[in-house]
Chains A and B, each alone.
Chain A
Amino acid sequence: MDTVILLSRLQFAFTIMFHYIFPPLTIGLGIILAYLETRFYLTKKPVFAAACQFWMKIFVLNFGIGVASGIVMEFQFGTNWATYSRFVGDVFGSALAAEGIFAFFLESGFLAVVAFGRQRVSRGFYLFSVYMVALGSIFSSVWIVVANSWQQTPAGHHVVDIMRDSGSGMTPWVIDGIVQRRAEIVNFLDLVFNPSTVQRLSHVLLGCFAVGAFFVLSVSAYFILKNRHQEFARHSINGALVLALISSLGLAINGHTQAQNVYRYQPAKLASFEAHFDTGRADLNLIGWPNEKEERIDFDISIPGGLSFMVFDDLTFSKPVVGLDRFKPEDRPPLLLSYMSWRVMVGIGGLMIIASVLGLYYNWRRTLNDKRWLLWCFVFGIGLVMASNQAGWIGAEVGRQPWIVHPPVVWNEDGSDLVVGADGFYEYQEREGLRTVNAVSPAVNAQEAATSLILFTILYLSLAAVWIFVLDRKIRKGPEEIEITEDGTEHGFQDASSERQHARLSQS
């Protein structure tokens, strides 16, 4: 069973990280598409249509892989995490179903018009379709983040015994002496707006916008460096730099308040992020390496009292912060992974702010084209931005361990410390949560789990290689000129029907 748990966790981590390459790109590019198509609609300048067309092709490519790798995630809850699915289905499933009905249909339907329908619909309807695609891709992030936030900070539900007809009325369902339980909805709105939904959703969306902005910056900077498609690159870079700065700054501000929220509801997670072992005044560690055995940070360079300030906005730098010593060893998240992913995310976030400020400054001085070192930073920066997105999620999910559904945390009356037992440790209410080790499918054996993991690894690595290859060619080719006729419709039915004639001729 231990092997199955390990393999299932590896498989989930691997498949979700692969999947999460694509949604941030489509969500971020959706905003860019909406902006460019609006400019085209208002100005009728062909450069905007060409730019929109170029990003749209990349959007479609990413969307296709995103959809296919997304179905894997939906199936995987059932295939590998059956016990979890039974426990959370009543609350988690409705969010997933809502996502399908409200977001995916909208996105995929209108994407068909955007990708294939420029010649088939009016300009106004085309613009509307672009908006709907952007909206649909944003919606698609809403419900899954709601569901994930519920796992972090559950609300609007209660955990109940499953009742079964035992012949003499409904009684709790007991198997091998264990009462079977599950979470059930009590209040849908409390579930949707659980204590972390709004914070986390804002953070996720800002992260996606940053990916979109830095992706556009990367490609545009490449064109400027290679002295190609200058007009296109200039137009793209102006908007992208603004979006990059807004989203990076937003991430920092929102990240600060979100960390405070994490401390309130998941203190063990924040303590692991910061490798904060001893409850009390907390330093903000800048450089170091956590030493789990001796419960300290090696090579430690810290701001004294810095974490106390960050958690409580406390100007005295002295308020006590609950540390890992409040939790039993088996209730602590994996330390090194939480600590490192948190640092990678925050560190890259800082670089993003610096890069976008510099970019905007030089762009304003009209000297950006001469700053080749900065342009090269932008070309490869997208890799770091995506790594930052991934690291954020690793921190969020690893920091939640050992729980798959985190139980609520009880604070003392003035909220300064946890209510601890006689042994000095915080006692989680086991009944209210679900441990990851208890969540896997009993029906799956190690051989099956290993087979699927190996197959997924091979498939996804080859897909990633082909994707990068195709994307690279597409970017190198650059945007294509779009002919605009006098009434503002490009290509138009004439071209379409001549293509059709051609298709007919080549058949016969």
Chain B
Amino acid sequence: MSYELLCIIWFILLNVLLIGYAILDGFDLGVGFLHPFVAKDDTERRLVMNSIGPLWDGNEVWLVTFGGALFAMFPEAYASIFSAFYLPFVLLLFALIFRAVSLEFRSKRTSPAWRSFWDILFFAGSTLAALLFGVAVGALMQGVAISERGDFLGSMLDLINGFSVVVGLFTVALLAMHGSIYLYMKTEGVLQQRLYGWMKGSWYVYVILFVVVTIWSTMFVPASLQHFRNTPVLWVVPLINVLAIANIMRAIRQERPFYAFISSCLVIAAHIILFSANLFPNLVPAANNAAYNITIFNGASSRLTLTIGLIIVAIGMPLVLSYTSLIYWTFRGKVTLGPDSY
């Protein structure tokens, strides 16, 4: 197998990990965003939290594995991106910590003040995490100024501009929609009826932001279209994307939330593929000098490491998929509160 092919395979595998993370932890973050709005009393709040209770930390492992794989297979990109996004990533870590500990701590006391405090942190952590993921994607799409060695030359304020903030809001809207569909499947009664409105509402907000981001990126982020000219088959992805978006609303109207959920998973996958297609073959586009671009070829590890990684994935992934499905099967159906719940 040629070295270039190995690099491309790993680029695809990283996409798989990122899609896995975005779909699975995506609904967790969406649920966290919706938490204060859709749940009106303590029982409902507990139902909302327990809908992701057994699943969220397994979902977060996809991010851990994505980070580990990026470090292992594309260390140049890992080092450059993580040190460039220094403060945003520190905040992201805080957001993920808030989300985790508020789930763990909230149920440990019954006092309303205690519970409200963790409710707020749960909401804030989930929303901030979604926002920062989006901002990072938006900033990376535009490229960043880096030195020849790949070290970021700008400041944090260069990363936060109109476009990256809009992509951040877009991500929050997308995950809110995704999360509301997930919650709709997991709940019943009044709570579920309330979610119906949220599914529709978040769909409209998402579609508006989708149009804005699409126009903005095609018109002002020049790199975003180049591959579509060279490889027309890529147009399949935005086509599926649009069809899936339309199908979400159709399925919501027909009250078939599972179809809506599958469609919103497809939408998330399509977005990540479009993002990667627009970067390819770069991992970190250098805005100041194209010669400094960190690509999937010059930023990759050695042939042996890429091969060992493939072997690890070949052994590990079937195991991961089998127990992930086992866990989801065990916790299928509507969420209920039992003695072990949060």
Let me know if A64 and B75 touch, CB within 8 A.
Answer: no
A441 within 8 A of partner (CB) = yes
Interface residue from B64, B148, B317 paired with A104 (Cβ < 8 Å)? B64
Residues of chain B with a CB closer than 8 A to A83's CB: 79
Residue of A60, A94, A499 most packed against chain B (CB within 10 A):
A94
Considering the chains assembled together, what is the distance between the CA atoms of A101 and B65 in angstroms?
6
Q: Which residue of A lies closest to B332 (CB)?
A: A120
CB A49 to nearest CB in B, in angstroms, measures 12
Considering the chains assembled together, what is the distance between the CA atoms of A117 and B329 in angstroms?
11
Let me know if A503 and B79 touch, CB within 8 A.
Answer: no
Chain A interface: which of B84-92, B195-203, B269-277?
B84-92
Let me know if B188 and A504 touch, CB within 8 A.
Answer: yes
Let me know if B331 and A78 touch, CB within 8 A.
Answer: no
B73 within 8 A of partner (CB) = yes
Interface residue from B41, B43, B96, B301 paired with A93 (Cβ < 8 Å)? B301
Residues of chain B with a CB closer than 8 A to A422's CB: none
Chain A interface: which of B169-177, B178-186, B259-267, B303-311?
B303-311
Let me know if B336 and A175 touch, CB within 8 A.
Answer: no
A78-B71, A116-B340 are contacts. A470–B57 as well, Cβ < 8 Å?
no
Let me know if B302 and A184 touch, CB within 8 A.
Answer: yes
A115-B340, A184-B305, A459-B97 are contacts. A105–B57 as well, Cβ < 8 Å?
no
Let me know if A495 and B308 touch, CB within 8 A.
Answer: no
Residue of A72, A96, A105 most packed against chain B (CB within 10 A):
A105
Considering the chains assembled together, what is the distance between the CA atoms of A175 and B54 in angstroms?
50
A82-B79, A86-B76 are contacts. A100–B68 as well, Cβ < 8 Å?
yes
Let me know if A85 and B75 touch, CB within 8 A.
Answer: yes
Residue of A79, A499, A500 most packed against chain B (CB within 10 A):
A79
Interface residue from A112, A184, A451, A474 paired with B87 (Cβ < 8 Å)? A451
Let me know if B324 and A105 touch, CB within 8 A.
Answer: yes
Let me know if B61 and A104 touch, CB within 8 A.
Answer: yes
Let me know if B323 and A106 touch, CB within 8 A.
Answer: yes
Considering the chains assembled together, what is the distance between the CA atoms of A115 and B54 in angstroms?
8
CB B150 to nearest CB in A, in angstroms, measures 8
Interface residue from B53, B86, B189 paired with A508 (Cβ < 8 Å)? B189
Considering the chains assembled together, what is the distance between the CA atoms of A80 and B109 in angstroms?
37
Let me know if A508 and B190 touch, CB within 8 A.
Answer: yes
Residue of A98, A106, A113 most packed against chain B (CB within 10 A):
A98
State which residues 273-327 of B face A: CB under 8 Å.
298, 301-302, 304-305, 308-309, 312-313, 316-317, 319-320, 323-324, 326-327
Considering the chains assembled together, what is the distance between the CA atoms of A504 and B96 in angstroms?
31
Residues of chain A with a CB closer than 8 A to B137's CB: none
Q: How large is the interface on B (under 10, 10 to 19, 20 to 34, 35 or more residues)?
A: 35 or more
Let me know if B308 and A185 touch, CB within 8 A.
Answer: yes
Q: Which residue of B lies closest to A474 (CB)?
A: B108
Let me know if A97 and B319 touch, CB within 8 A.
Answer: no
A298 within 8 A of partner (CB) = no
Let me know if B301 and A67 touch, CB within 8 A.
Answer: no
B240 within 8 A of partner (CB) = no
Q: Which residue of B lies closest to A120 (CB)?
A: B330
A57-79 to B contact mask, C-beta < 8 Å, 1/0 = 00011011101111110110111
State which residues 117-170 of B face A: CB under 8 Å.
147-153, 156
Let me know if A109 and B337 touch, CB within 8 A.
Answer: no
Residue of B87, B93, B298 most packed against chain A (CB within 10 A):
B93
Let me know if A72 and B100 touch, CB within 8 A.
Answer: no
Let me know if A175 and B148 touch, CB within 8 A.
Answer: yes
CB A157 to nearest CB in B, in angstroms, measures 10
B232 within 8 A of partner (CB) = no
Let me know if A100 and B336 touch, CB within 8 A.
Answer: no
Let me know if A180 and B149 touch, CB within 8 A.
Answer: yes
Let me know if B97 and A69 touch, CB within 8 A.
Answer: yes
Residues of chain A with a CB closer than 8 A to B323's CB: 105-106, 109-110
Considering the chains assembled together, what is the distance between the CA atoms of A80 and B331 in angstroms?
39
State which residues 451-495 of A face B: CB under 8 Å.
451-452, 455-456, 459, 463, 466, 470, 473-474, 491, 495
Considering the chains assembled together, what is the distance between the CA atoms of A444 and B176 in angstroms?
33
Residues of chain B with a CB closer than 8 A to A459's CB: 94, 97
A89 within 8 A of partner (CB) = yes
A89-B78, A459-B97 are contacts. A71–B330 as well, Cβ < 8 Å?
no
A68-B101, A92-B71, A455-B94 are contacts. A112–B331 as well, Cβ < 8 Å?
yes
A78-B83, A82-B151, A89-B71 are contacts. A503–B43 as well, Cβ < 8 Å?
yes
Considering the chains assembled together, what is the distance between the CA atoms of A328 and B316 in angstroms?
46
Residues of chain A with a CB closer than 8 A to B326's CB: 109
A194-211 to B contact mask, C-beta < 8 Å, 1/0 = 000000000000000000
Given contacts A79-B82, A97-B68, A442-B83, 12 further A-B contacts (CB under 8 A): A64-B101, A86-B79, A94-B312, A100-B61, A100-B65, A109-B58, A113-B54, A116-B53, A175-B149, A455-B90, A463-B101, A503-B336
Q: Give residues in A with beta carbon < 8 Å to B.
A: 60-61, 63-65, 67-72, 74-75, 77-80, 82-83, 85-86, 88-94, 96-102, 104-106, 108-113, 115-121, 164-165, 175, 180, 182, 184-186, 188, 441-444, 448, 451-452, 455-456, 459, 463, 466, 470, 473-474, 491, 495-497, 499-500, 502-504, 506-508
Q: Give residues in B with beta carbon < 8 Å to A.
A: 41, 43-44, 47, 53-55, 57-58, 60-61, 63-65, 67-69, 71-76, 78-87, 89-90, 92-94, 96-97, 99-101, 103-105, 108-109, 147-153, 156, 188-191, 298, 301-302, 304-305, 308-309, 312-313, 316-317, 319-320, 323-324, 326-327, 330-331, 334, 336-341
Which 8 pairs of residues, A with B, have the shortest CB-CB distance? A89-B75, A78-B82, A93-B72, A100-B65, A101-B316, A112-B54, A441-B83, A82-B79
20 contacts between A and B (CB under 8 A): A65-B104, A67-B60, A68-B97, A69-B97, A78-B78, A78-B79, A79-B89, A85-B71, A85-B78, A85-B79, A105-B58, A109-B327, A112-B58, A119-B338, A119-B340, A175-B149, A448-B86, A448-B87, A455-B94, A495-B338
